[in-house]
Each structure stands twice: as structure tokens, then as C-alpha cells.
Amino acid sequence: MKNKYNVCLLLLFCFGFSQAQVTNEGNPKSWDLELESNKALSLPNFNLKSLQAEDAVNDELKNQPYRFGHEHQVSLNFKDGTWNELKNGDRVWLLNIKSQGAKTLNFLFDEYRLPDGAKLYFYNEDKTDLLGAYTSSQNRDDMQFGSWLIDGDNIWIEYFEPANAKFKGQLHISKVVHGYRSVMDIPQLSKALNSSGPCNQDVDCPIGSDFDNLKEELKKSVAMTIVGSSGFCSGSLINNTNNDGAQYFLTANHCLGSSPAGWAFRFNWRSPDPSCSTTTNSTDGDFDQTASGATLLASSAKSDFALLEINAPLSTDWDLVWPGWDRSGDIPDFTVGIHHPSGDIMKVSRDDDSPFKNSRSFGGISNMDNWFLDEWELGVTEPGSSGSPLFDQNGRIVGQLAGGAAACSGTSNNGAFDFYGRFDVSWDYGDTSSSRLQEWLDPTGTGVLVLDQFPSSEIFDNDVALAVDNISDVICGNEAFPVFRIVNEGNEVVTNATLTYQMGTQNEVSVDWSGSLAIGESEEIVSPTLSLSDGNVLVASLEIDGVQDGFPDNNSMTRTIDNFQDATYDTETVILTLVTDEYASETSWEFYDQDGNLLAESQGVLTNLTTYTETFEVDPDSCFEFVILDTYGDGICCGLGNGSYSLETGSGELIFEGGDFGGSESTNFRVSDNLSSIGFDFSSSLSIYPNPASAFVQIEINSNEEFNVELFDMSGKKLYQTQMNGDISIDLNAYATGIYFVKIGNGENSITKKILKQ
């Protein structure tokens, strides 16, 4: 059971809620008692197809909320449920609401006033999702309140009021939102946990030793915000010159679709097992740190900013950070964004190039001032990232996300741009404090151009960090090439350290390092070649010799690597067989290579109840991803026709089959480099070296037979052909650097090997 105020099933931009953090004080009273209740109140049907047609257009945009629910206008209060009086005088009120087919329900109140000791809960019929208790801490002068999403289409609302309450509570529900789209229902994005595209980086993935330690602090500032009744944004706490932890929160002006009095904020939603630009799913985090209700302090479309103040005290147990800022307008060396794309767990993006200043038509004005990022090098943003902070190389905020076209293309980004409202413009544009930042973030008028975070990051005398570069969670091959580096994060010079690492069940390796590193300096220790054949978990640790490390948390790492050991096939072709259902127009498919390049896709509108067959030519020693999409979000089986699909090798070996999915489903697999090597034992007779090669590559076969040798580029174009008996040398000088394939055969058997030209 999810005993929490949970956001695992939210979808895009902006949504709405109330004040203060939710307590978690056990189960509702009714769970231990037999209480009376009225028959469930059923909400009317609505035109879902019409909403989906609108969504098909709006989902492509980053400049407006992503709608996942239909709002039912209602007027419900205590008269619509059932009161039960307990023996001690306490009272329990129950209301059961159903909206057939809903993925989730959530509730908006225009009257919410609870006495001390009263509690409000929301839970589904099978009691697997529980929200609450909401208490008097959510009371506001304007009496607004909103719930989180509750899973299911049959929801109970339970109100407990103690006998000694000083006054009778007030509750009036004005809206019930039928969530018709949920986590796996957006084909392009597959929402909520693991909802964003596979090129996204979880925030705990390494993004470079020059920013990793800053990221460890800054991630504690970012929140996913729920506004209105059908979407969400991102944003960040932000420091002011008083360094007092004032609960200021920076987001985007275009997220202001409703009063922030009804907004909710979720901090520190991060994955304990991060996924780094892979199709491997992130695991959910156990942080449920949620607050509700805010006041709008300032906003402007000129730079698309909004500054809020979160009303209820944020818990000191949450270990939050208020980032600093830079209002100088100086162009950053590089930039980093931390955000919640598509309602997913926290992600990070990095652009290694400097942004440039730009002006564009956006948000109803013709000259919105922004930082223009032409392409991300790591990760992307998506709808739902709007309002998230842009950090410069010093970890200071220089803007917040307004819009753009960046998105995933498989496990790579699509090479498109994003733009962020400029902090320096937000600082003093406009004539009053309601349109600019300076009065709020520099309340005493110090005039400083830059400000660091609050609380300040502690620096220890002795502190080394282990940095591991050039390694991914997914590797298409049997070897990994990590680069281990030592980074001095302490005040004292580091002269000696010991690195220990182990891959799978292989022997543990220790490396002694000596040198001289001042604070902030780093140096490579070793860059080994590690085999993945004996396990795929890499464990490494680093220790300073002779002294106690003041902050050991950054001294070790564990990385689980997926190299498709259980999904590797010997084949030159992959065959797709697709049987459509009764709504084939909703179905499409895409086929990608390991670099995110689209190799093939469905053409036109598919025909109902039809069998399609496609054959894909696949390169050896390569990885691929097949994605099937359904715009309605109900897969192709089994309610409206028994649709299905399968992927098989050329010899008929099954790779995957399915049909019962939501909005999308992905299959990842690898093609080995030992294609068609049947009969003749190439593995023990063939040698190719050096590989990588810069000029010549030598091929040797321990056999008296004559073999045909062919050289191909990545596109399959034949570049060279010859005959060999014993050994041969191929001249690569005329070819560009990159990947090539050499095919060797004797008429009956053949093998294809990959070579790398440096």
C-alpha cells in the first residue's frame, strides 16, 4: 500500500493544491470499524475522444500545461455523505465517489476549514493508495485546498472530527478531476516514474567532475510543482541576500494557470538506482516531501519568470538548499539544468557550450528575453520541465526554462534547442516589486551581482572524491573502459591515495596514487579495460592514505551495467510481425540503433485487423530498440481485437512478443559479432589486430583454406574485397575514422567482425 501523498502518476506542466506538509499518522478510523456509508456517487461520462483530439495537438508544446484529466464541476459537502458517531462522541464522515474508467481521481475544494485534531483522508477501494492525514495545518484564509492524485476510479473520502473539536469543520468540493491518462499513456513520453524519454539522465548520474559536487547540493533545491487541475511544472528554491531561508521559489510565468494558493510542491524525488541515458527504468525514491500552498510575489512575461513564497514551513529534516544566483548577465561557460521532465523522477541536463542572448516571441509578447541553448550534450528537457532552474558553471541560477524543442530520439537527444528566461532581466525589469526580483532577493539593497547558496556548502580539511567517467549503465559490447579520477574537495593538499575497484567476480584491483592536488584539482588514476563476461556490477572506492576523510560519502560508487547478456542474438535480420486491432490508426512503431538514429518506422495509417511483416537488416556487434506506440494508451490487445506483435531473428528465434501495453512499449536487444559462424571454428582460428587500428589491420586465420575478405562501412557499402590464405594486411589509411566491418567467409560459413579506425 502507498501510505503517502504520492505523485507517481502525474503528467506534464501545471496542477493545483493547498497549504503545508501532509502528516502521516496511521490509517483512517473506518479501516478498523464497521461504519455506514451511502451508495457511491457516480460521475457522468464525457467525450473522451474530443479531449484526445485536442491533446494530440497540445502534447507537442512546452509552453502550456499538459492535460491529463477532465474536470467535473460538482457541489459536494457533508450533506452528500454519511456521518457515523462513535461511542466516545468522535464523528466520522464518509463519501464514496466513482468515475468509471478513471486512472486517477483528485479533488479541489473551495471550502476547507478543519479544527485542531480533525483529519481528512483519501483512499481507493482496495486500499492500495492512501493520502493523508490532511489537518488544520492546511487551513488558509481563502479556504482553498486540493488533493494529490489517488489511483483508481472508485475513491473514498473520510473525515474524522474529535468530540472536543472547538468548531465544526467545513468542506465543500468544487471539482473532481477524472484522470484519463496515466503513467504509460503518452506514447512519446510514457509518463511519471520512467515517464521521460530514455536519453534523460537521472540527477544522480555523473555529468562531469567540474560540476558533480555542485549538483549534489543543487538537487536539494528542485521541486515538481502541481498546479491547476491537469498538469505540472518544475522550479527551485532560491536564496536572498539575508541568507535566512525565506521560502522563495522560482518558476515560469507561463505556469501560472491558477492561483498558487492551490499549488503543491514535491522535493527530493530522486531515484536511488539512477538510469543514465538508457532504456533501463529508474527505481522510485522513498522521499515523499510535499508541501502545499504559496503566494505569488512577482512575475513577468518579459523573461517568463514567477517568484512564489511557499506558505507553510518546510521541514528542516528535508535537507533543502537555496541556490545562489548571478544577475550580472555574463555569459556562462556551460550550463546545467535540473528538472522533472514529463512528471518523471528528477533529471539533469548539461550543455557544454555557452548559451547566447536572444529575444523571441513567447508568452504573448514579441520580445521575451532569453538564454538560447542550441543543443544539449547530456539529457534534454521535456514538457513538465518548465520553470526549472538553469545553473552556470559556478552553480548559480541564471534563468528558468521557458520553452524549446529539445526531446529524446531513442537514447540520444534530437539535437534541438531550448530557451530560458534570463535572470538578469527578471532582476529589474518593470516598475514595481510585483514585476521584478530585486526587492525580494536583495531586500536590504546590498547591490551584489552574485550570491552563493544557503546554507553554504561545508568544506572539510581532508576530502577526496572519486569520479568515474566514460562508463554508462548500458554498454553494447563485452568490455567497459572506465576512467577513474581523484578530485580534491578539501582544503589540504592531497599527496597519496588508494583506489580499489572490482568488476563482477573478477579479482579486486588496488592502485596506489601519488601526486599533489590542491583544492578543486583532479587527476586520472587509471583507465583499465574491464571484461563484462564475469558479472556486470562495478564497485570502486577511494581512500586518502594516512588521514581521516572528512566526507566519505563521495569516496565510493557502485554501477550495475546492462550489456544485453540475456538479449543477444546471432542474426543478420530481425523480422517484425504485427497484427493490428480494431483501432489500427492509433498504432505505430519505430526502430532505432544504439545511437538513437531512427532506422525504420511505420508508414501511413495502418489498417484494422491486418497482419504486417517487416524485415530489418541489422549490423553485427550492435544494439537496437524497437518501440511500439498507441495514441489512445490501451495497447493493441485485448479489448478491441486481439492485436499482437513479435520480433524474431532470421532463423525464427523469438526476441519478444506482446500486445497488452499502455501508450508504448520498448524492446532492446543486441546482435552479436559472431554472425553465421557455423561449422568452421572461427573463434579459435581467427585473429584481427591491432583493433582499434590507425593505419593497417592484420587478419590471420590458422587454416589452409582460402577465404573471401570484404570490408564494409556503417551504411553497408562494400569498400574492399580480396582473397586470403593464412594472413593478410588491410590498409585503412584511405578511410575516415569510425567503425567498419570485415566479413570473412569460405563459401559455406562466414563471420563478421567490427573494427575501429582511429
Q: Which CATH class is domain 686-757?
A: mainly beta
Please compute the mean of the pLDDT values over residues 386-412 and round it to a whole number. Answer: 89
The yes-or-no verdict on residue 192 having pLDDT over 50 is: no
Which fold, 201-451? Answer: Thrombin, subunit H (2.40.10)
For the domain covering 568-671, report its CATH number. 2.60.40
The yes-or-no verdict on residue 716 having pLDDT over 60 is: no
- Helix (H) / strand (E) containing 52: helix 48-58
The yes-or-no verdict on residue 21 having pLDDT over 60 is: no
E strands present in 7-98:
41-42, 69-76, 82-85, 91-98
567 strand-pairing partners: none
Q: What's the confidence (pLDDT) of residue 715?
A: 53
579 strand-pairing partners: 611, 644
CATH superfamily of 465-560: Immunoglobulins (2.60.40.10)
Please compute the mean of the pLDDT values over residues 553-582 and round it to a whole number. Answer: 89
Summarize pLDDT for 510-529 with one digit per residue, the tens: 999 999 999 888 899 988 88
The yes-or-no verdict on residue 16 having pLDDT over 50 is: no
59: pLDDT confidence band, cut at 50, 70 and 90? low
What is the average pLDDT score of the chain?
84
Q: Among 222, 254, 225, 253, which residue's Cα sits nearest to residue 238?
A: 222
Summarize pLDDT for 145-158 with one digit per residue, the tens: 878 778 899 999 99
Q: Model pTM greater than 0.85?
A: no
CB 741 within 8 A of CB 676: no
The residue with cell 518548465 is 386
CB 202 within 8 A of CB 270: yes
Q: Among 385, 346, 382, 376, which residue's Cα sits nearest to residue 188?
A: 382
CB 55 within 8 A of CB 70: no
Higher pLDDT, 207 or 682: 207
Q: What's the confidence (pLDDT) of residue 684?
A: 57
Whole-angstrom Cα Rg for the chain: 29
Distance set, CA 689 to CA 449, 726, 757 (Å): 58, 14, 12
Residue type, 418: D
Please compute the mean of the pLDDT values over residues 84-102 and round it to a whole number. Answer: 95
Q: Among 656, 654, 651, 649, which residue's Cα sits nearest to residue 626?
A: 656
The yes-or-no verdict on residue 196 having pLDDT over 70 is: no
DSSP 64: S
Summarize pLDDT for 223-253 with one digit per residue, the tens: 988 776 667 789 999 999 999 899 999 999 9
Which fold, 29-179? Answer: Jelly Rolls (2.60.120)
CB 397 within 8 A of CB 422: no
In the chain, where the domains are located:
29-179, 201-451, 465-560, 568-671, 686-757
The residue with cell 581512500 is 543
The yes-or-no verdict on residue 479 having pLDDT over 90 is: no
Cβ-in-10-Å burial (0-12, 13-18, 19+) of 684 comes to: exposed
Summarize pLDDT for 126-137 with one digit per residue, the tens: 998 888 788 887
483 strand-pairing partners: 469
d(CA 440, CA 322): 14
Q: Among 309-313, 585-589, 679-683, 689-693, where is mean pLDDT lowest? A: 679-683
Coil vs helix vs strand at 234: strand
The residue with cell 514595481 is 432
Q: Are strands 664-671 and 568-569 parallel, antiparallel or unpaired?
A: parallel
Same fold, 201-451 and 568-671: no
d(CA 666, CA 198): 10
- Helix (H) / strand (E) containing 68: none
Cell of 3: 501510505
Q: What percentage of the chain exceeds 70 in pLDDT?
A: 88
Q: What's the confidence (pLDDT) of residue 682?
A: 58
Q: Among 180-184, 280-284, 360-364, 623-627, where is mean pLDDT lowest? A: 280-284
Q: What's the confidence (pLDDT) of residue 9?
A: 28
Active site residues: 254, 304, 386
Residue type, 315: S
d(CA 689, CA 699): 7
Q: What's the confidence (pLDDT) of residue 5?
A: 31
